[in-house]
Amino acid sequence: MKIVADKNIMELTTRLPKGIDWVLKPGRAICAADLVDADALLVRSVTRVDEHLLKGSQVGFVATATSGTDHLDLPWLAANGIAVADAAGANANAVAEYVIASLAELMLEENLPLWQLTVAVIGVGHVGSVLLTKLTALGISCVACDPFQQILAGVSYVELNTALQADVICLHTPLTDHGSYPSYHMLDEHRLKKINPAAIIVNAGRGEVIDNKALLAHLQQCPQQRVILDVWENEPKPSPQLLQKVFIGTPHIAGYSVEAKLASTKVVAAALIKHFALEKLKIPIHSAGAMRMHDQCYEGDFANLMVRKGSDQQIFAGIVTKAFSPKAVSRRFKDIYQATSFSSDAGAGAEVFDSIRADLSARREFGATHIHAAGISPQLSVWLHAAGFVLPA
């Protein structure tokens, strides 16, 4: 059996039986010639899977170790009898933590009064529901917007125009360009003008949900608008001008954590085993390598993660951003992107994207951080636990 796979799918080969003929390559380098005699293709979001890639091959199974399937031509795959699997929901916690950490950056830098604001989560699927659960556990006022499902208990569902009047707007919709509620360019020039200039816009969902040209023009006229973007139109080469104008701009790394990648691999491996009726794994689901990574959690001096001066809100924000700082990633992305000449090298955008993502290969989620809670207030303990940190019982 021959499997072509993105080499950056974590722990993949250790989770499948021996005897597989592996072809492991960077996702952007996978080409049709690799797949002529392959049985399966395993990718991430950077590989476009369509007729151009698979025509004439014997591939009968495609899996993506991502929540989204925008990079897969699903109608063509279905028409050609090719089975498809994805890892929907595997990175939901990582993305929710990215949003919380980004808002914590604003709390530290601009004294954002988060507990006095209303957050609207637009798109309440895997990621949106996790984010809403965390925010409400933190005691933050939230509303939800999702015309397709309204099943999360204890949350007020509102229509889109009402959601866009919130103080913080978080976009987590799938990307669609048809139907009654298409999300493509959902935030266009018209809707951007209706958003309060003091509001915060966070897009860690799909880049094309915001018209990026309209957003750039909007920020040129309304520079006080705080925008946080992890996803972009024209990835991996977003607008350099837009990148420099957003408060935080990162190269599609919100769901990029050790825990999310291992969960994605588990789902992909299980789907492949089921499809091909392979023998059951003879190894534990956490391989030795994965266990070593899980052992590298933050333990010991609480002071290393704590800002001891300030309000509970400021201390909370300091702990969150020490565990993971989207602003630090953004600074590096902006600096490297600005220094790179894209006019002379068409592949430079992808190189910048991929190099920074590679540097975050060991990012841990808050649950890997064990905090010694001596001396902190009961309220701060509640918030840290709600965000996902581990505190002693």
pLDDT tens track for 202-230: 999 999 999 999 999 999 999 999 999 99
Active-site annotation holder among 44, 126, 172, 206 = 206
Q: Which domains does the chain show, CATH number per domain?
A: 2-86+257-288 (3.40.50.720), 95-255 (3.40.50.720), 297-324+363-387 (no CATH)
pLDDT at 209: 98
| 51 catalytic residue (yes or no) | no
Quick check: 350 and 237 in contact, CB under 8 A?
Answer: yes
Confidence of residue 284 (pLDDT cuts 50, 70, 90): very low
Convert the pLDDT of each residue in 323-333 to its tens digit: 999 999 999 99
- Residue 298 pLDDT more than 70? no
- Residue 153 pLDDT more than 60? yes
Percent of the chain with pLDDT over 70: 89
Tokens of 102: 């980004």
Mean pLDDT of 150-173: 96
Quick check: 233 and 208 in contact, CB under 8 A?
Answer: yes
pLDDT at 71: 93
Tokens of 146: 């999702």
Q: What is the pTM of this model?
A: 0.90
Q: How far are the Cα atoms of 115, 169, 178, 386 from residue 383, in angstroms, in the given order?
A: 11, 21, 40, 5
Please spell the DSSP secondary structure of 176-187, one letter per residue.
-SSSSS--TTSB
Convert the pLDDT of each residue in 253-270 to its tens digit: 999 999 999 999 999 999
CA distance 240 to 352: 12
Q: Which of 66-75, 175-184, 222-231, 295-304 has the lowest mean pLDDT?
A: 295-304
- Residue 358 pLDDT more than 70? yes
| 363 catalytic residue (yes or no) | no
- Residue 239 pLDDT more than 90? yes
CA distance 162 to 329: 32
- Residue 292 pLDDT more than 50? no
Q: Which of 26-35, 50-59, 98-107, 354-363 has the lowest mean pLDDT?
A: 354-363
- Residue 288 pLDDT more than 50? no
- Residue 141 pLDDT more than 80? yes
pLDDT at 289: 39
Active-site annotation holder among 126, 252, 363, 364 = 252
Residue 392 amino acid letter: P
| 206 catalytic residue (yes or no) | yes
- Residue 163 pLDDT more than 70? yes
Burial (CB count within 10 angstroms: exposed 0-12, middle 13-18, buried 19+), residue 188: middle
pLDDT at 104: 98
pLDDT at 300: 35
pLDDT at 348: 67
Q: Which of 36-45, 88-97, 105-114, 286-295 has the lowest mean pLDDT?
A: 286-295
Residue 256, C-beta contacts closer than 8 angstroms, at least 6 positions apart? 91, 94, 357, 360, 363
HEC secondary structure over 55-118? CCCCCCEEEECCCCCCCECHHHHHHCCCEEEECCCCCHHHHHHHHHHHHHHHHHHHCCCHHHCE
Tokens of 8: 């950056």
Averaged confidence pLDDT in the chain? 89
Active-site annotation holder among 235, 275, 332, 372 = 235
